[in-house]
């Protein structure tokens, strides 16, 4: 049985990925984690959509230009891509860069999910913490963007769908005989959802009231972005399968489980 090292394997994305690798029963999975909010790696470089900045054309493809990112976090992602591209040119290293969009939700068991340290930065954990009473209200940052309801647009992808893509990417690397050792795949649903629509999807899925208000824009936020995942579908055989309401319900089940144990 092949050994595979998963660093960041106790984190949000890492833990869900570990589960899928164990279920596959093809690998001896070794997990390394420093119990912080570090990024997840699995023989590939894991990227995020922050490398695209504010795109001029939608949906974004893997060939969409990478601009100067809107945030320092995005800049670190773009720099790491450049470093790995150089490494591929000078060695036999094979790299798959997974550019995933906005992962949300929790495992269907309700036993693992996203548990941010301190005040959540991302939307869905802030929603669930507000609904359960840990936060007084949700603040939606900006309702004056040039979108259909004035709030930012994102592409929300279910965490388990995303985790499965890591497994399929590794299988692709192992079977690949291509001369090209550098591959990029977008991982999203191809559907742009406004922040307000995401809030409404949570309320509909969970039947929970949610107090929210609008606040000022948050520096560094991209106005609108969603994926073209045709390349991942064609080459990896990967497809997102989970509806937004199902994602929200899974996140809510996880939140209730966590608070029941505290």
- Cβ atoms 155, 193 nearer than 8 A: yes
- Enumerate the β-bridge partners of residue 41: 7
The three-point CA angle 114-118-120 to 5° equals: 55
73 catalytic per annotation: yes
Measured distance CA(182)–CA(178) in Å, rounded: 10
Chain centre distance of CA 208: 24
What three-state secondary structure class fits 170? helix
Which secondary structure element, helix H or strand E, spans residue 25, and what is its range?
Answer: none
Q: What are phi and psi of 239, to 5 degrees?
A: -145, 135
The residue from 12, 27, 52, 73 that is catalytic is 73
Indicate which residues carry an active-site annotation.
73
């Amino acid at each position: 049985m092949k050994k595979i090292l998963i660093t960041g394997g106790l984190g949000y994305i890492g833990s869900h990925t570990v589960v899928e690798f164990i279920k596959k029963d093809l690998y001896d999975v070794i997990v390394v984690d420093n119990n912080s909010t570090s990024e997840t790696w699995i023989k590939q470089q894991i990227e995020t959509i922050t490398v695209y900045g504010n795109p001029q054309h939608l949906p974004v493809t893997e060939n969409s230009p990478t601009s100067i990112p809107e945030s320092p976090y995005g800049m670190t992602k773009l720099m790491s891509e450049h470093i790995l591209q150089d490494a591929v040119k000078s060695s036999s290293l094979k790299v798959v860069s997974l550019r995933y969009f906005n992962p949300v939700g929790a495992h269907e068991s309700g036993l693992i999910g996203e548990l941010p340290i301190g005040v959540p930065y991302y939307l869905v954990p802030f929603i669930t913490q507000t609904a359960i009473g840990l936060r007084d209200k949700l603040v939606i940052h900006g309702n004056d963007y040039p979108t259909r309801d004035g709030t930012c647009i994102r592409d929300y992808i279910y965490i388990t769908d995303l985790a499965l893509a890591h497994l399929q990417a590794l299988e692709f690397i192992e079977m690949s005989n291509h001369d090209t050792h550098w591959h990029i795949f977008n991982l999203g649903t191809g559907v742009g959802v406004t922040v307000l629509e995401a809030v409404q999807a949570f309320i509909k899925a969970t039947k929970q009231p949610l107090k929210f208000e609008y606040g000022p824009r948050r520096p560094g936020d991209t106005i609108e972005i969603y994926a073209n995942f045709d390349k991942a579908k064609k080459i990896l055989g990967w497809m997102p399968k989970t509806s937004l309401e199902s994602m929200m319900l899974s996140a809510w089940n996880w939140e209730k489980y966590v608070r029941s144990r505290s």
